[in-house]
Structure 1
Amino acid sequence: MEHLYTLTIVIPAYNMERYIARAIESLLAIDGRYWADFEILVINDGSTDLTAEMTEACMEEFSGAPIRLISKENGGHGSAINCGIAEAKGAYFKVLDGDDWVDRLAFEALLDALRDIEVDMVVTDFTRRIPAYGQSIHEQPVDSSLARIVQSVLPTKRLPMHSLTYKTALLQEHQFRLTEGMYYVDVEYSLFPMQYVTSWLYLSLNVYQYLFGREGQSVTLVSLVKNAAHHLQVLENVFEFRQNLSDSPLKAMTDDTIASMLEVQEMINPHSEQKTELSKQTRYLREIYNF
C-alpha cells in the first residue's frame, strides 16, 4: 500500500475543549517544511462540549495544515483509535491523547528518522508532566545502549503507549482492534500488536509530553475505583492473550504487564462498590492462570 504521509498522528478526543488546541498547535509549531510529512486525525468521540468547534478553529488558523476532523458516536478511547487506524494514510502511526502534546524539536527529529528507516516499531522517550506538584519526570523506556540499533528481541518490560510508534501496515494488515466501550485499553495497544513486531528501533527523543493527574483522568485513584470493572476486564483480556503465546519471547513482557495490573486491581477492589465480586473474580484469575 502506498502511503501519502510518513506519519499519521491520531488524537482521540472526548470533551477535550480545554486541551485540544494545545495538542494540535504543538504538532503544527514545527517548521512548515515538515507539514507534508504527516497528517493529524482528530477523532471526536461523541463529545458534548466544544471539542469539534475548537478543532475547526485550529483548522482555520492553520489553513493548509494536514488536519482532518472525524466526528463519530461515543465509543470510548479504543473506538476512537480503531477509527484512526482505519483512516490512517501514513506509513507510521502514533497516538496523541487530546490533553497531551509533543516537544517541537523532538517531533521534528522523529519525522526525520521515520523517513529513512524500515522497522515495525519505533520507541521514544516521554515526559510525565504533573502540574499539581510542579514536576516533570523524563521517562526512558529502554536502555540507552540500544539507541539507533535495530533490534529483533522485544524488551521484557511493557512499553507505555506514549513511547510507541507502529508501522501502520502492521496494524491494518492484521486488522488490529482495541476493545471498545472500555477504559484502560492503552494496555492492549501497547502489548497486543507486539506479537507482529519483528524489528524495532529505540530513538532517545523526548517526543511525548504526558499530562498526568488532571481531574477526571482515567489513571487517577478516583477513576480507577469507579471503573474497577473495566480494569479487571482488560486484565482478563491480557490473561487470555497470554494463553496463546506458548513460549513466545513476548511472554516476559506480558507477565510484567499482568503483575503490574494485578497489583493495581487488588489495590482498588476494596474501595469499589462491587468489591466482593471483583475480589472474587481477581482471585479466580490468579488461580486458573496460576499466576
Structure 2
Amino acid sequence: MYNFPLVSVVLPVYNAEKSIDYCLKSVLEQSYKNIEVIVINDGSTDRSEEIIQTIIKKYPEKRIKYISQENKGVSVARNLGLKKALGEFIAFIDSDDEWLPTKLEEQMKVFDENNKVDIISCNRNQEHFDSFLGNKFKVLQRIPAKMLFLKNFALTPTVVMKREAFHTVGYFNENMRYAEDLIYFVRLAHHHHLYLLNKSLVITGKGKMSFGESGLSSNLWEMEKGELKGVSIARKLGIINTFESLFFYTFSFLKYLRRVFISKVWIKTNTTSNKRND
C-alpha cells in the first residue's frame, strides 16, 4: 500500500473481564499500525477497568483513548466513540471478539485498490461463502442493503467504513437495544457501497454461536423483536417496500424459530456432555 490512513477503532466495554485482554491486544497487535483505539467503559462493575489500564501501560507507544461513563448501553457507548474518532476510516469491535493479526491490513488494502468500496466487512469463525441463495460469491462481493435482512454479512466487529459514510447516516439508534447494528448497516449499505471480503478474519464470542449462549443475543425473543423493528424502520425509510417488508417479517420469524430449535438442541447436547464428564 502507498497510503496508510488512520483507522479509529471503537471498542465499547461492559463487564468484560474474561475477554477484554485478548480482545484489546488483538487490536493493538494488528499488522496495520496506523490506528487509534477508543475504549469506552460503559459502567463496568467487574475488573474490566483494571485490566484495560494494565494493557494501556503495557503499550505506551499506542494511541489509546480511554473513556469511562455510567452504564448507558452499547449504542450510546459506540456513538461516544464515533464522536471522539479522528481517523479517515472507522472500525468496530466488541469486547468478546478477537481480530486475526492481518484483519485491518487486508481490509485497508481493498480500500486502497478499489475506490468504489465505502464499507467493507469480512467473515468470522472460519466462514466462507461459495454462494448464497443461488448467487455465486467472489472474494470481494457486493452486498445490497436488502440482503442483510436475509443474512447479516456486516456483523459489527467485521466492519470498517470510510468516515464520509458515517457522516451520511449519523449515529446508532440509542433507543434500540437489539439489532441496532443491523439497521445501522442496512442504512449505510442503502446509501453507500458495502462489500464483503469473503475471508474469515474475526473470531466472535470465542467462536460460539452468534445467538442463544451469552450476552444480549442470548435473549432470542428480544433479539427477534429488534430485527422486526429494523424491518419496520427500513420500510419507513423507503429502503424496502411493503411487500418486501412482509416477506422479511416472515423470513425473520422463521429464522427465530430455527434459532430457538438450534439453541435448545445445543443446550441439551452440552448438558448431556457435562453430565457424562462429571
| TM-score bracket, shorter-length normalisation | 0.7 to 0.9
* 1:1-291 to 2 correspondences below 5 Å: 5-31=5-31, 34-35=32-33, 37-118=34-115, 119-127=117-125, 137-140=126-129, 145-148=137-140, 151=142, 156=147, 157=150, 158-161=152-155, 162-180=157-175, 182-197=177-192, 199-211=193-205, 212-213=208-209, 216-220=214-218, 223-225=219-221, 228=222, 231-233=224-226, 235-245=228-238, 258-263=249-254
Q: What is the DSSP-based 3-state SS (H/G/I as helix, E as strand, rest coil) of the residue aligned with 1:187?
A: helix
Which is further off, 180-189 or 65-74?
180-189
Corresponding position of 1:132: none
Shift of 1:15: 0.6
Q: What is the CA RMSD across the aligned residues, in angstroms?
A: 3.3
Give the % identical residues.
19
CA distance in structure 2 between the partners assigned to 1:267 and 1:138 by the alignment: 19
Given the superposition, is the C-alpha separation of residues 5 and 144 from structure 1 closer, same or farther in structure 2, using an over 3 Å criterion? farther
Give how far 1:206 is off.
1.9
The structural deviation recorded for 1:181 is 6.0
| Aligned-partner Cα distance in 2 for 1:257–1:164 | 23
TM norm structure 1: 0.70
Q: How many residues align?
A: 244
- Stretches of structure 1 that go unaligned for 5 or more consecutive residues are 128-136, 270-291
Runs of 4+ in structure 1 deviating by more than 6 angstroms, as ranges, are 141-144, 266-269
Aligned AA (2:172):
R
CA positional deviation for 1:19: 0.7
Q: Label 1:246 to 1:138 Cα distance change in 2 as closer, same or farther (>3 A).
A: closer
SS class of match (1:16): coil
Listed one character per residue, the Cα deviations across residues 95-154 of structure 1 (whole Å, up to 9, x for unaligned) are 111011011133332233344443211132211xxxxxxxxx4254976743347x5955
1:209-231, Cα deviation, whole Å (9 max, x unpaired): 111359532222xx335xx3x64
Change (3 A) 1:260 1:90: farther
Classify the secondary structure of the residue corresponding to 2:50.
helix
Structure 2 length as normaliser, TM-score? 0.73
The answer (yes or no) to whether the contact 2:144–2:190 under 8 Å persists in 1 is no
Residues 6 and 115 in structure 1, CA contact (< 8 A), matched pair in contact too: no
Residues of 2 paired with 1:206 and 1:239: CA distance?
31
